[in-house]
Amino acid sequence: MNRFLTITGGIFFILSSRYFPWTQLGELFPILQTTVQIVSRIVVASNILLILGVTFSLMEVFSHLKEKKTVEILNICIAVFIILGLSLNQSTLYDGVDRWVKGDLAPNYQNSKELSLGEKMKNGNLFKERSKNKDVSLLIEDLPFGFPDYLPLKKKWSNHELVALDVAEIHKKEVVNIPKNTYKKSITSDGKIKVTWREEVKPVKQRIVPIIVYKQTKLELNGQQLTKNDFDTTEIGALKLKGTQGENTLLVTYQEGKFSSIIYKITIFSWIALLLAFAVKFTLKCKKRELSSKRIHN
């Protein structure tokens, strides 16, 4: 078991490394360009497997050791490594807390264009004030939007086509950089997104509403449920529709997929079954000890 876990963990570690030729593989197998996103996240699986593998290996080593001094030395070495790891983690944590207290931003937030906090947020104290304020809209309004994730693109694009399309710029134009007074958004008591606007120009033309439409999205305009034939979407999935003269009210809900609901139920059932199995095993083990102790006394 320990050999299997260690080898599998090592394979996952290599796959998560920057030295693995993912770029070349993506060119040979284009499907990998859209299915594999951030390969460094694979390291999570490798860490778990390697920790388990090392643990089983140490248990096997300890079981073959007869001299108590050798076992004590190994235990001391393991304790030293654990303490060093915790000390390093604590040092990193204290450094972050110190930056937060002083109001200094981390260098990657100050210099990186992709992770920029914007001109308003260059002052770390302002960022702290916004993050502690109960009105979270202040923080959201002052922070610039980065590259959007998980947009329902209208058609499949290759990586080169996506770069040329400039999805982030389209997202800013169609969703982010909309004048504040154009739309009013709120959340209804039953959890729906409510978007209102006025149509003043005659005749009413089709407009882009800053709402992303996914497969499970349900739309209701002025009290009427919309079908796929009643609206269209842009290349990045932003809503395109034609309202009515005067006040328009759009209600948006994101219905959970049937497959997701089944997965959630299976997960909950699995955890309950696992806990019950551990409880039964523990109970049987306790009863076995009681019987063995009674036999010894008798």
Radius of gyration of the chain (CA): 28
Domain ranges of the chain: 2-102, 103-144, 175-255
pLDDT grade, residue 23 (50/70/90)? confident
Q: Say yes or no to pLDDT of 47 above 90.
A: no
What pLDDT score was predicted for residue 119?
Answer: 53
Q: Where are the beta strands (DSSP E) in the chain?
A: 184-187, 193-199, 207-212, 217-221, 224-225, 232-233, 238-241, 246-254
Query: Which pLDDT tens digit goes with each residue over 233-244?
Result: 999 999 999 888
**Best mean pLDDT range from 102-106, 121-125, 151-155, 275-279:** 275-279
**Best mean pLDDT range from 37-41, 55-59, 79-83, 211-215:** 211-215
Query: Average pLDDT, stretch 167-179?
Result: 84
Q: Say yes or no to pLDDT of 112 above 50.
A: no
**28-to-23, 85, 108 alpha-carbon distances in Å:** 9, 40, 33
Lowest mean pLDDT among 38-42, 214-218, 249-253: 38-42
Where b means 16+ CB within 10 Å and e means fewer, 211-246 reads bbbeeebebebeeeebeeeebebbebbbbebebeee
What pLDDT score was predicted for residue 111?
Answer: 43
Query: Average pLDDT, stretch 39-65?
Result: 79
More confident residue, 281 or 2: 281
What pLDDT score was predicted for residue 103?
Answer: 58
| Beta carbons of 53 and 5 less than 8 angstroms apart | yes
CATH of 175-255, one of 1.10.287, 1.20.5, 2.60.200, 2.60.40: 2.60.40
Query: Which pLDDT tens digit goes with each residue over 249-291?
Result: 999 998 877 787 888 889 999 999 989 998 898 888 888 877 7
Query: Which pLDDT tens digit goes with each residue over 186-206?
Result: 989 988 999 999 988 777 788
DSSP letter assigned to residue 193: E
